[in-house]
Amino acid sequence: QVQLQESGPGLVKPSGTLSLTCAVSGASITISNWWSWVRQPPGKGLEWIGELYQIGGTNYNPSLKSRVTISVDKSKNQFSLNLTSVTAADTAVYYCARGRHAFDVWGQGTMVTVSS
Amino acid sequence: EIVLTQSPATLSLSPGERATLSCRASQSVSTYLAWYQQKPGQAPRLLIYDASNRATGIPARFSGSGSGTDFTLTISSLDPEDFAVYYCQQRSDWPPKLTFGGGTKLEIK
**Smallest Cα–Cα separation from B88: which of B32, B7, B34, B24?**
B34
**Coil, strand, or helix at residue A9?**
coil
**Smallest Cα–Cα separation from A47: which of B43, B102, B96?**
B102
Looking at residue B31, what is its pLDDT? 82
Select from A22, A100, A103 the residue whose CB has the most chain B CBs within 10 Å, as the one to mutate to test that interface: A103
Looking at residue B30, what is its pLDDT? 78
If phi > 0 it is left, if psi is from -120 to 50 it is alpha, else beta; for residue A54 that is left
More confident residue, B30 or A47: A47
Looking at residue A67, what is its pLDDT? 98
The mean pLDDT value for B88-103 works out to 94
Looking at residue B1, what is its pLDDT? 86
B31 and A CB contact within 8 Å: no
Q: Cα distance from B80 to chain A (closest Cα, Å)? A: 22
Give tens-digit pLDDT for B57-93.
999 999 999 999 999 999 999 999 999 999 999 999 8
* pLDDT, chain B, mean: 96
- Low-confidence residues in chain A, pLDDT < 70: 32
Looking at residue B83, what is its pLDDT? 98
Q: How many helices (H) and strands (E) does chain A have?
A: 0, 11
Beta bridge partner(s), residue B88:
B35
Looking at residue A33, what is its pLDDT? 84
C-beta atoms surrounding A18 within 10 Å: 22
Looking at residue A102, what is its pLDDT? 97
The mean pLDDT value for B45-68 works out to 97
Contact residues, chain A to chain B, C-beta under 8 Å: 36, 45-48, 51, 59, 61-62, 95, 99-104, 106-109
Confidence band of B24 (pLDDT split at 50, 70, 90): very high
Residue A83 CA to residue B97 CA, distance in Å, equals: 18
Looking at residue A38, what is its pLDDT? 98
B102 and A CB contact within 8 Å: yes
Looking at residue A56, what is its pLDDT? 78
Q: Do B46 and A59 touch (CB under 8 A)?
A: no
Nearest residue in chain A measured CA to CA from B105: A45
**B window 60-79, beta carbon within 8 A of A:** none
Looking at residue B101, what is its pLDDT? 98
